[in-house]
Homo-oligomer: A and B are copies of this chain.
Amino acid sequence: MFKQFRDIGIKLTPQRMVIANLLTNNSTHPSAEDIYHAALEQIPGMSFATVYNTLEIFKEKGAIRELNIDPERKRYDPDTSNHHHLICVKCGKIIDVFDGVDVNVVNDTISEFKIAEVHVEFYGVCNSCEKKNNKE
């Protein structure tokens, strides 16, 4: 599982392995602070600088993606394939959407661009928040 990290030129130290582990198969889109706290439990003495350095390297090498969804802090997504997000405006939950979304474009301004990626965010209220709301 760490093979893919080494393959793209990331030297895996114990700290980085812990961070890589925390990111992989994690769909919560954690912030640097989330990762720092979780990592601290596995490596006492783990530093914030290391978390930030590691996230920077992972991002540079294309192992993870930085999300701009949360205006207060950067969040990280271990899935670098093009996918979209569903955001609950009540509880802040962010859910991945991999398929069933089709963006059709017929627009001259856009045609003049060399588009590399298309990100779609769906803002709304999730099921559990909706239920909570109805009970009040």
Contacts and interface: CB of A to CB of B under 8 A. Distances in A.
Quick one: copies of this chain in the complex?
2
A123 interface: yes
Contact of A127 (B71, B103, B112): B112
A85 to B, nearest CB: 10
A107 B100 contact: yes
Classify chain A: how many residues form its interface, as a range.
35 or more
Nearest to A90: B114
Interface of A: 66, 68-71, 74, 86, 88-89, 95, 97, 99-110, 112-127, 130
15 contacts: A66-B71, A68-B70, A86-B113, A100-B110, A101-B103, A102-B104, A103-B120, A104-B104, A113-B122, A113-B125, A113-B127, A114-B125, A115-B124, A116-B123, A120-B120
